[in-house]
Amino acid sequence: MRTTSIVVAGLASCALSSAEYDYKPDVTSEALQELITIEDLMAGSQDLQDIADANGGNRAFGGAGHNATVDYLVKTLEETGGYEVSTQAFVELFSAATVELSVGGTEYAGSYMTYGPSGTAGASLIKVANFGCNATDYPAEVSGNVAFISRGTCDFRVKATSAKAAGAMGTIIYNNVPGSLAGTLGAVGDYAPTIGIDQDDGQAILAQLGSGTVSADLLVDAISENRTTWNVVAETKEGDHDNVLTLGGHTDSVFAGPGINDDGSGTIGILTVAKALTNFKVKNAVRFLFWSAEEYGKLGSFHYLRTLNGTISGNQTEVSKIRAYLNFDMIASPNYVLGIYDGDGSAFNLSGPAGSAKIERDFEKFYESKEKPHVPALFSFRSDYAAFLENGVPAGGLFTGAEVLKTEEEARLFGGEAGVALDANYHQAGDTVDNLSEEAFLLNTQSIANSVAMYAMSWEGIPKVNATIAKRDAHLHRHHAARDLGHTHEHLSGPCGASTLLK
C-alpha cells in the first residue's frame, strides 16, 4: 500500500511549536480551497482502493479492510501534528454469510436473511400459497422439501418460522417489487436455511414451477459474532473547544465492494480538508469524525453521541459544545447531482434544528458563486447526520445521489445521463476508484473547505444548541413533497451485509 503524500508548499507537515502556530494566518475560504486538488483526492481514493484490494475487495465493518482503513486514518491524521487524534472502540454484532443457490440446474444470486442459520438443502421446490403468512398456505409437500414464498403482508420471520413448522428443509423468499431481497429475520429463531432472491429471478422460477417439478439446492454459511470496531476522532489542537464544528463521513463499505464513492469520497474529502486546515489558525475548534458501521445502521455515530464524554445516555453539556454537524456520505457519484441537505425544509417540509437553514443557504451560496446548479436533498435519516438531528444539533451536508435514476430535468442541469442511476455502482463491486466523478469530487471538497473555513472563524447566525429541547425532533413527520435522491442504506446492504428490512 502506498501512502498519501500531500505536502503543502513550504510548510512542514510535522507538529508546529506555538510560535509557529502564531505565525500562521487565519483560515479563509479562498486560501483553504486553494489547497484542495484533484490529484490529492484521487491519491487518497487510490489508497482506500489499495486497502480494499489487499483485503478481499471490501472495507466492511468487522473485517481486515476496515481495520486497515482505521489505521490509515489515524496515521495520516497524526502525521499532520495539528490534531488530538483518538479512536473510540465499540462492539457490535457482526453477521455475514456466503449463500449459494441453484434451481433447476441454474445458479441464482441469493441474499442472506440476517439471523438465519447455516445449512444446506437439496430437494424439490414447492410453491407456497398467498404470502405464506398462514399455516394453511403451506401444502403438505413442503415437508422435506424447499418452500418458495412471495414477499408481502407479514414479516420474513413469520414466513421462515411457518415454513420450518411445515417441515421445510430450506426456504426461498422472492421479492414482489423490483430489486434484490436482503432482509432480516429480526432475531434468532427456529428456521431452515433461508435465502432472498430478486423479483425477476422469482418470476423465472415461478414459470419453471408452472411446467413441472423443479429441484433446488441451497447453501447458507453464516457467522454471527460480536466484533470490536472503531470511530476515529480528530480535533484541532487550537481553537475554542466549547464551540466546535464537527464534520464526518463513514469509513466502512458494504461487503459487495470497496466503497470508494460510498463513502471513500466523504472520508477522503474531509481528510484532505483536515490536512489543509493545519496551515491556518482557527477561532473555533474543528472535529473530524470518521464513523464505523454506518452500513450496519449508523452504529458508530449513534454510539458516539450516546457516549459523548463517557456517559452512556449522552452528556447534554458535551452535546451543546457541538455547534453544527456537516455530513459527507457519497460526494463523487459518477452520474451526480449536486445535492444539499434541505436544512430549511423548503423542499421536503422536514427542517433540521435551528441553524440548519443557514448551513444549507451557505452551501447554496458556494455553488452559486461558482455558477453551478444545486438541488435539495432529503434528510431521510439514512446517514450519520441522523444522530445529530435527533440530539438537536444543526446539521447539513452534501450528497451526490445513490441508486435513484437521474431525471431529464437533472440531466439538463448537471449533464450526465437521464434514466441511469446517479451511482450505478451503489453498494456493488463497481464502486471503485475508476468510477468517481472527479468534477463533483473536487467541487464538493472545495465546498467542504468553504464551510469549514467559515464556521472555524464565526458562528454568526447559528444558535447554540439548547440541550433541554435537544431531543424534541427525534422522529419528524416526513412529507416527500420533492424527490429523494436514494441511499436506501438499510434496505440495500450488500449480499453479505446485515439488513434491517423486516418484511
Binding site for ligand NAG (CB under 6 A): 63-64, 67, 93, 134, 136, 224-226, 309-311, 315, 317-318, 349, 424-425, 430, 432, 434-435, 466, 468-469, 477, 479
Q: Which residues of 90-121 are buried (b: 16+ CB within 10 A; e: fewer)?
A: bebebbbbebebebbeeebebbbbbbbbebeb
Q: Is 134 or 208 the residue whose CB approaches ligand NAG more closely? A: 134
Contact (Cβ atoms closer than 8 angstroms) between residue 260 and residue 45: yes
Query: Nearest distance from residue 304's CB to ligand NAG, in Å?
Result: 12
Q: Is 17 or 226 the residue whose CB approaches ligand NAG more closely? A: 226
Parallel, antiparallel or unpaired: strands 240-250 and 284-291: parallel
Strand partners, 197: 174
CA distance 441 to 437: 6
Q: Is 110 or 259 the residue whose CB approaches ligand NAG more closely? A: 259
Which residue has the closest beta carbon to ligand NAG?
A: 310
Query: Nearest distance from residue 310's CB to ligand NAG, in Å?
Result: 3
* CA 387-82-325 angle, 5° bins: 20
Query: Nearest distance from residue 482's CB to ligand NAG, in Å?
Result: 11
Query: Nearest distance from residue 438's CB to ligand NAG, in Å?
Result: 14
Query: Nearest distance from residue 443's CB to ligand NAG, in Å?
Result: 21
Query: Nearest distance from residue 415's CB to ligand NAG, in Å?
Result: 16
Residue type, 309: N
Q: Is 170 or 239 the residue whose CB approaches ligand NAG more closely? A: 239
What 8-state DSSP symbol labels residue 329? S
Q: Is 122 or 139 the residue whose CB approaches ligand NAG more closely? A: 139
Q: Is 31 or 64 the residue whose CB approaches ligand NAG more closely? A: 64
Question: What H or E segment, with its residue span, contains residue 327?
Answer: strand 322-328
Torsion of CA 33, 39, 42, 43, to 10 degrees: -110
Most distant pair of Cα atoms in the chain: their distance: 83
CA distance readout (Å), 485 to 332, 343, 473: 14, 15, 22
356-369 helix and 438-457 helix, angle to the nearest 10 degrees: 130
What 8-state DSSP symbol labels residue 184? B
Exposed, middle or buried: residue 15 (CB in 10 Å: 0-12, 13-18, 19+)?
A: middle
Question: What H or E segment, with its residue span, contains residue 195?
Answer: strand 194-197
Q: Which residues are catalytic?
A: 294
Query: Nearest distance from residue 104's CB to ligand NAG, in Å?
Result: 28
